[in-house]
Structure 1
Amino acid sequence: MSDRVSVLLADDDELTRTGLRALLTGEPDIDVVGEAADGAEVLGLVKELRPDVVLMDVRMPLLDGIAATRLLRSELADPPKVVVITTFGHDEYVYEALRAGAAGFLLKRSKAAQIAHALRLVAAGDTVLFPAAVRQMAARRPMPLAGPGAVELTEREADVLRLMAAGLSNAEIAERAYVTIETVKTHVGNVLAKLGAANRTHAVVIAYESGFVSPGEG
């Protein structure tokens, strides 16, 4: 991946899209390559523009961000990362988007620097996760899924998953576990593969819903 991050904006509110474009245009390494006025337009634009990240509103009239995220994953072998953007951090729509495979979420009131930093993280394969918010959303949705208890994680992989659920980055996990970042990346990749998770955030959601991590922890 290049050092630049290409972004597709998807929001039914033109003023919001204009504001996001204006905020991101000032970032030297971020390119807004297109805009979608509804989730129904996202797949076609992604095929045409090949963005690294889709910054996606969760509530849109024709096709919402949840369904659009699922569509990208089902139709594309290598879909872009999705970051959902919302007004309320504990929105049920946000949780469903994370379950659908979104890499994380942002609040619409976030500052430009926060949004840009999140896009860079996600494009690089990391995550945008607010552990406390995910815990609260998971606590309201105690829905058992096939998760860590149904697969064979090694002791190290299980430890890495717990640290991911706590919101630690690869670098922070490496420091905590006294291993290299490359080793952490290998463990994370193994966890995602074994859980059938789209990304780190999806793996954390599975960990909560399977009971491997308790929503009451932390």
Structure 2
Amino acid sequence: LVVDDLASSRDWLSRALAQAFPGIAISVAASLAEAQAHVERAPPLALIDLGLPDGSGIHLIERLQAQGTLCIVATVFDDDAHLFPALHAGAQGYVLKDQSTENLAAMLGGIAAGQPPLSPSIARRLLRHFQPVAAEHGAPALTARETDVLRLIAKGHTVAEVASLLGLSRHTAAGYLKDVYRKLSVSSRAEVTLVARRRGLVGTEI
């Protein structure tokens, strides 16, 4: 199954699939709504774009992987905010739309040998995230209170809830969070959560 709202991308992905797996039957969908018709039939493999006109491809990944489909993301997004939610949803590969049909076909062909299809830049990004010492070497140390705030924010609590749990005013809690963002050079809750995971402050199940 190929899910992409651009006809040119659907054609490119379909050609790569046909080259990697000669004779394979290929279905296409341009939106989440069109893809829903294939969920119950559970195709063995799906190439899914994340930016679809009626929602995120991540929701489709969650449904298809629960049915046993091997889901591969095919996208232009190479940032953490798209990569890690997709992997957490069950994607077993992540390829960027910046390569030739032949290169993509070679990546997909590796699936039969148990090799997850990953664009090189994505593989490097993953390695950096699982090398906490190298990634955070030289980063300013957090105080005990800043670490408490980091842990609670990463667990999904709001600033108001953090303030209540730690016995602080909302203004003070917000100040600690601002310091955490500055020291860790992050700008979003998603990035804060990734840092907290690397530091072992929260589990990987959140």
Give the TM-score normalised by structure 2.
0.54
> Among 63, 78, 81, which residue is 1:89 paired with?
78
Rate the CA distance shift 1:127–1:28 in 2: closer, same or farther, 3 A: closer
Gaps of 5+ in 2: 136-150, 156-193, 201-206
Task: Compare relative contact order (CA 8 Å, sep 6+) and give the higher one, 1 or 2.
Answer: 1
**1:88/1:73 CA distance change after superposition, 3 Å:** closer
In the alignment, what sits opposite 1:131?
A: 123
Matched, 1:62 2:54: yes
Q: Does structure 1 conserve the Cα–Cα contact (< 8 Å) formed by 2:65 and 2:71?
A: no
Query: Structure 2 vs 1, CA of residues 104 and 25 (structure 1 numbering), >3 Å: closer, same or farther?
Result: closer
TM-score (norm 1): 0.52
Say if 1:118 and 1:128, in contact at 8 Å, map to a contact too: yes
8 A contact 1:86–1:108 mirrored in 2: yes
1:115 corresponds to which residue? 104
User: Using the alignment, how far apart are the partners of 2:70 and 2:18 within structure 1?
Assistant: 20
Distance in 1 (CA, whole Å) between partners of 2:39 and 2:114 is 18
2:8 aligns with 15
Number of the residue aligned with 1:37: 30
Q: How many residues matched?
A: 139
Aligned equivalent of 1:209, options 197, 200, 203: 197
- Alpha-carbon contact 2:4-2:52 (below 8 Å) kept: yes
Distance in 2 separating the partners of 1:211 and 1:126: 28
CA spacing shift, 1:80–1:28, aligned 2, 3 Å: closer
Quote the sequence identity (%): 27
Q: Is the Cα–Cα contact under 8 Å of residues 33 and 54 in structure 2 kept in the other structure?
A: yes
The verdict on how the C-alpha distance between 1:133 and 1:40 changes in structure 2, with shifts beyond 3 A counting, is: farther
Please tell me the root mean square deviation across aligned C-alpha atoms, in Å: 3.3
Q: Distance in 2 between matches of 1:23 and 1:34?
A: 13
Unaligned runs of 5+ in 1: 1-7, 146-205, 213-218
Which letter maps to 2:125?
A
CA contact (8 A) 2:3 2:10 kept: yes
Q: Which amino acid aligns with 1:16?
A: S
